[in-house]
Amino acid sequence: MGQSIPFGQHIARPPVAVSVRAGVGARVESVPWTIWCMVAGVVSGMIGGPWDISWHMSIGRDTFWTPAHIMIQMTGVLVGIACGYMILTATFGHDAATQGASVKIWGFRGPLGAFIAVWGCIAMLTSAPFDNWWHEAYGLDVKIVSPPHTLLSLGSLSIKIGLMALMAGLMSRASDRIRRTLGALLLFIGAGCVAQMGLILTGSTWPTEMHNAACYLAVAIAIPAVLIAPAWGSQWKWGCTVVAGIYTVVLLAFEWILPLFPAEPKLGPVYQHITHLVPLRFPMLLIVPAIVLDLLWRKTGEWGRWKLAAATGPALVLSFTAVQWPFANFLMSPGSRNWFFGTAYFAYFDPANFIYDPYQFRNLETSGRFWALLMIALVFSVVTSRLGFAWGDWMRRLRR
């Protein structure tokens, strides 16, 4: 009576009934196979997603059963197997430690992260027939954000959130060696979240849009929470830098490896002569604001969360703008039209160099609109940074 309830135990109450056992489970001496299975599923999706977009840009949508599509859906399969095992074992088993580290939802027991990830699996697997129907009804889409893709993305993001929650709960009960391993995996999955949100922002952050404040507003809305939360939750000293570094390395790997494989369009109209898989653009320079945030947090001590967010959000947006703006000038120049920076790649259906100049900034805003949108971006960055700190604090407090 009179005791405050830990923050992490609030989130699963409405709208379902959740009961939490008094125990917090046994000490963790190794990374469970279920975590490795879920990580393998997420990695499969991280490979399949950019590969699928490249397939659409290079070949078109010839069939649902492409290797890239299968790898994406394997995320739901592998994660579903692992989470199903955890939930069924906790529900029907008699191990006190397992049940002590579980919550109860709709009559089933299991770790909270497993329930979050299961919802993501259902959303991902549901998106597959939805996407197939969408293409049959409306033909080829050339946009990343469509209703079935949105459902797929929400499911994939839920899986990553659930997996990070599972690892955070295990870290609170793990030995130092296992805690370091789980922390590294948590940062890796966090980088996957950043890459996923960056993928959603592709249209808003394309190089031709990088001299518009709308580009930096989009980043302020989507990036701070997914960059800050895993770094803050892991409590690693250079957590933000690690997350942004992994994001950068993964996207560069796709940009440099995909063009090594032959491909040619199977649909029309064809504006570009394609002989190999076409990758997406060079990754955003998020590594710079990540370093800035890690340095900032070393100076802020025990600041309150809103005060910390008020410093973190603008620092992220302004440092990103300071480095990405001049870099965008370079991306428009002939010096970037090579395999390293990749600005000479175009999708087969892109009329670049035929109908428009792809190396000119487009739809430039008036001065008044630019500064107004930039101020709005700074406000949003504070809110989304605060969300990232709340998410990270929640993961720090998780025990189940």
Condensed to tens digits (0 to 9), the pLDDT of residues 279-296 reads 988 999 999 999 999 999
Around Cβ 284, how many Cβ atoms within 10 Å? 24
Lowest mean pLDDT among 96-105, 133-142, 311-320: 133-142
Cα dihedral across residues 51, 53, 57, 59: positive or negative: positive
The dihedrals phi and psi of 13, each to the nearest 5 degrees, come to: -70, -70
Count how many domains the chain has. Answer: 2
**Confidence (pLDDT) at 139:** 62
pLDDT digits (tens, 9 = 90+) for 244-255: 999 999 999 999
pLDDT digits (tens, 9 = 90+) for 25-83: 567 778 899 999 999 999 999 999 899 889 989 988 766 678 888 899 899 899 999 99
Residues 240 and 385 in one domain: yes
**Confidence (pLDDT) at 320:** 98
Nearest CA to 286 out of 331, 254, 252, 240 is that of: 240
Residues 208 and 337 in one domain: yes
Residues 212-225, mean pLDDT to the nearest whole number: 97
Instruction: Decide if 188 is inside a domain.
Output: no
Around Cβ 121, how many Cβ atoms within 10 Å? 25
**Confidence (pLDDT) at 98:** 64
Q: Which two tokens stand for residue 173?
A: 């009960």
**Confidence (pLDDT) at 361:** 93
Residues 231 and 157 in one domain: no
Residues 145 and 245 in one domain: no
Lowest mean pLDDT among 79-93, 235-249, 321-335: 79-93
Question: How large is the greatest C-alpha to C-alpha distance in the chain, in angstroms?
Answer: 73
Write the DSSP string, 246-257. HHHHHHHHHHHH
Instruction: Give the end of a domain, one of 174, 193, 218.
Output: 174
Instruction: Decide if 21 is inside a domain.
Output: yes
- Alpha carbon distance 177, 27 (integer Å): 13
Nearest CA to 97 out of 186, 173, 30 is that of: 173
Residues 259 and 120 in one domain: no
Q: How confident is the model at residue 101 (pLDDT cuts 50, 70, 90)?
A: low
Residues 155 and 283 in one domain: no
Residues 256 and 370 in one domain: yes
Predicted confidence (pLDDT) at residue 17 exceeds the cutoff of 50: no
Strand spans (E) along 122-230:
none
Instruction: Decide if 138 is inside a domain.
Output: yes
- Alpha carbon distance 151, 116 (integer Å): 15
Instruction: Decide if 30 is inside a domain.
Output: yes
Q: How confident is the model at residue 4 (pLDDT cuts 50, 70, 90)?
A: very low
Q: Please, are residues 117 and 159 in contact by the beta-carbon 8 Å criterion? A: yes
pLDDT digits (tens, 9 = 90+) for 192-203: 999 999 999 998
Instruction: Decide if 193 is inside a domain.
Output: no
Residues 92 and 27 in one domain: yes
Instruction: Decide if 333 is inside a domain.
Output: yes
SS3 of residue 357 by DSSP: coil
Nearest CA to 377 out of 315, 323, 303, 324 is that of: 315
- Alpha carbon distance 133, 127 (integer Å): 10
Residues 27 and 91 in one domain: yes
User: In whole angstroms, what separates CA 209 from the centre of its chain?
Assistant: 21
**Confidence (pLDDT) at 23:** 43
What are the contacts of 207-210 at 24+ separation with CB within 8 A? 207/281, 207/328, 207/331, 207/332, 207/343, 208/332, 208/358, 208/360, 208/361, 208/362, 209/361, 209/362, 209/363, 210/324, 210/325, 210/327, 210/328, 210/331, 210/361
Domain of 127 in residue numbering reads as 15-174
**Confidence (pLDDT) at 135:** 65
Position with higher pLDDT, 31 vs 219:
219
Predicted confidence (pLDDT) at residue 15 exceeds the cutoff of 60: no
Residues 168 and 208 in one domain: no
Residues 94 and 239 in one domain: no
Instruction: Decide if 8 is inside a domain.
Output: no
Instruction: Give the end of a domain, one of 174, 194, 223.
Output: 174
Strand spans (E) along 60-193:
103-105, 108-110
**Confidence (pLDDT) at 296:** 95
- Alpha carbon distance 323, 338 (integer Å): 21
Residues 307 and 349 in one domain: yes
